[in-house]
Chains A and B, each alone.
Chain A
Amino acid sequence: DAGITQSPRHKVTETGTPVTLRCHQTENHRYMYWYRQDPGHGLRLIHYSYGVKDTDKGEVSDGYSVSRSKTEDFLLTLESATSSQTSVYFCASSRSGPLNTEAFFGQGTRLTVV
């Protein structure tokens, strides 16, 4: 199994505060992704990275930013958390782009914005 870990696993934060979620992978995968999962919507791509310092927006990127300074780490920042960002966030990684190979997912971070 690919080694991919997320931290924290659970977080409660107040509206308007910045929040950073961390993802770490040990497989030397080039591609990394952040998804959110909400009832009725399934998994939706927020941002993805195709290399160190190379990132691009996904379907639901508004209000989120990402950074990737090392191959193994991918950070997701909620610049000013809102209640609509209450969700379960999943990080994933893959050897090559999403078009070709399967992705390996972390265990998820449950974020509650109050």
Chain B
Amino acid sequence: EDQVTQSPEALRLQEGESSSLNCSYTVSGLRGLFWYRQDPGKGPEFLFTLYSAGEEKEKERLKATLTKKESFLHITAPKPEDSATYLCAVTYGQNFVFGPGTRLSVLP
């Protein structure tokens, strides 16, 4: 069964405590993997697109990586303003599916 999962469901970090979020997928023919950030009461905001295993993208404290079965969103020295829900989405065949998200809280 084609599936996109994210772990953990929720994560609490102290400011400056680096960690990683995981997006795992079991789909055939991955065409692209997207990361979005969603703040409470707002729509998702695009962060990155990854197309092939081994690819990496960086933006400020965030770094996304991709393997054949999963993607990681690494957060280095997070700040309270990084608190949000992080969503991954995959495209495969003619499908485009979002994962359930990881809710990140960064405490000062």
- A residues sitting closer than 8 Å to B (CB atoms) are 40-45, 59, 90, 92, 98-108
Neighbouring A residues of B91 by C-beta, 8 Å: 98-100
CB distance from B16 to the nearest CB of A (A): 29
Determine if B43 and A105 form an interchain contact, defined as CB atoms under 8 angstroms apart.
yes
For A35, the closest partner residue in chain B by CB is B98
Instruction: Report Cα–Cα, A59/B42, bound state, in Å.
Output: 22
- Which residue of B31, B45, B49, B98 is within 8 Å of A42 (Cβ)? B98
Report the contact-size class of chain B (Cβ under 8 Å from the partner): 20 to 34
Determine if B45 and A105 form an interchain contact, defined as CB atoms under 8 angstroms apart.
yes
- B residues sitting closer than 8 Å to A (CB atoms) are 31-32, 34, 41-46, 49, 87, 89, 91, 94, 96-101
Determine if B99 and A104 form an interchain contact, defined as CB atoms under 8 angstroms apart.
no
Q: Quick one: given A43-B87, A102-B34, A102-B49, are A92 and B43 in contact (CB under 8 Å)? A: yes
Neighbouring A residues of B41 by C-beta, 8 Å: 107-108
Determine if B32 and A42 form an interchain contact, defined as CB atoms under 8 angstroms apart.
no
- Which residue of B43, B49, B94 is within 8 Å of A108 (Cβ)? B43
Instruction: Report Cα–Cα, A108/B41, bound state, in Å.
Output: 8
CB distance from B92 to the nearest CB of A (A): 9
Neighbouring B residues of A44 by C-beta, 8 Å: 98
Neighbouring A residues of B34 by C-beta, 8 Å: 102
Neighbouring A residues of B44 by C-beta, 8 Å: 43, 90, 103, 105
Determine if A90 and B98 form an interchain contact, defined as CB atoms under 8 angstroms apart.
no
CB distance from B57 to the nearest CB of A (A): 12
